[in-house]
Structure 1
Amino acid sequence: MIAADLAVEWIRQECADQGACGLLVLNAFGVEQQIPSLGRFAAEHAVTTPGAARDRVAPGVGPVLAYAPVEKTLDFATDLARGSSLAIVESVHGFSLEGWARQLGAIDLTRPDEHPEPIAPALVKAIDRLDFYKDNGFGDQFGKQQARRILQDLYDAGLLERNVILGALAAKEASSRALRNLSKLIDELDPS
C-alpha cells in the first residue's frame, strides 16, 4: 500500500506540473476500491483497462499510473503515457519490473536515493539482439530459432536473467505476445 500511496502522490504532482488530468490503468476494474489512495485517485481522474474501449482515453493526454500491471497492461499504460509521465506499482506476484527499471533507469519511489543497477554489457548485447528479432512476437519459426540461440548462449554463460530480459524488452516496447512467447522459451531452458 505504501508504494501505491507514493505513486499516487507522485502522479498528482506530475498532473499539477503539467496542468493535465491523470489516468489510472488497471488489469481489471474494481481493484482501485481495495486501496484507499487509488480509490481517491480514481474518483478524481480517468480509469481504464486494456480491455476497455480504446476510445475511452487517448495516448499522451496526461500522467499515467499503472497498478500491478501484467505484460498487456504495462504495454497499454506505456503507450498511453507517451509524451507524459508514467508511474508503476509493481506486484510481488505479477510481472517483474526489474529489467524494465534497469533498462530505463527508473527510480523506485520507495527508495528514491537508490538507482537501478546497470545491466551487464553482455546481457545488454543479447537483449538488443532479441529486440531485433521481436517483430513477429517470437511466434514464427525464424524468430523462435533466433531467440532460442540467444537464450541458449545466455544460459551457457550463466547470464539467463529472466526478469531482467523480459523487463528490458518490455521497456523496448516488445508486445505482450512477444513477452509471453519469450517467457515460454526461457522456461524451456530454465524451468526453475
Structure 2
Amino acid sequence: MIDKLEKNSYKKVEVLLNETNDKLFIGPNNLLNNDSIENIQLFSKLIYKQKDIEKLNNSDTLTLLDSTDLGDNPISNHLIGIFTLGRNLTSHEHIIHGGAIAAIIDEFFVKVALPLTENNFAVTANLNIKYLKPIKIDSNNRTIDVLLNCYILNNKNNRKFTVVGSLLNSNGVKYCAGELLVVVPREPL
C-alpha cells in the first residue's frame, strides 16, 4: 500500500497528534502504545481539480488519485491513514469499541482540512458515523490493520469543510462511513 501511495505522489505526513498535552484522549501517551493504537502512517495529497473530488466521491472503494494537475490553490485534500489497532480498544471480545472508532474519525477527519486553514486549526461542528461492520481482531492476533480514507467534499472559503470518508480493511470492505463538518472558529478559542 505504501508503495502505491508514494507512486501516486501522496506525501507522508506527521501523525499530527498534540504531543504537549499528556491528558489528551487521542494523544501519544494514551492511545499510541501497545495494544491501543500501535502505529499510524498518514499520507496526504492536495486536490486542485473538482474532477478529482468527483472521482473519490463516485468510488465505493479506496481510490488513489493519480492526477498531478496542479492549480493555484488547493480546493480539497485526500488523507489516507494506515492504523494498527490493538486489543485495548475493544469493548466486546475482540471487537474495537465504537467510541474509539468515533474518536479516530473525529481526530483525523479534522486533520484532512488543516492544510487548507490559515492557522492550521479547526474544530468539529458535527459528526455522523454509520457503522457497517464490526472491526474484529482475530482471536489469534492482538492487533488489526485498518485504513482510514477521507477527503474534503465541500470547502467554503477555507473556513467550513464537509469531510467524508471511511475506515476499511485492506480488501476494501468498509467498517464504517462518516461525515464531519469542520469549522475554523472566527475567534481564537
Range of TM-score over shorter length:
under 0.3
Q: Give the TM-score of the pair, scaled to structure 2.
A: 0.25
Q: Give the TM-score of the pair, scaled to structure 1.
A: 0.24
- Larger-gyration structure (1/2): 1
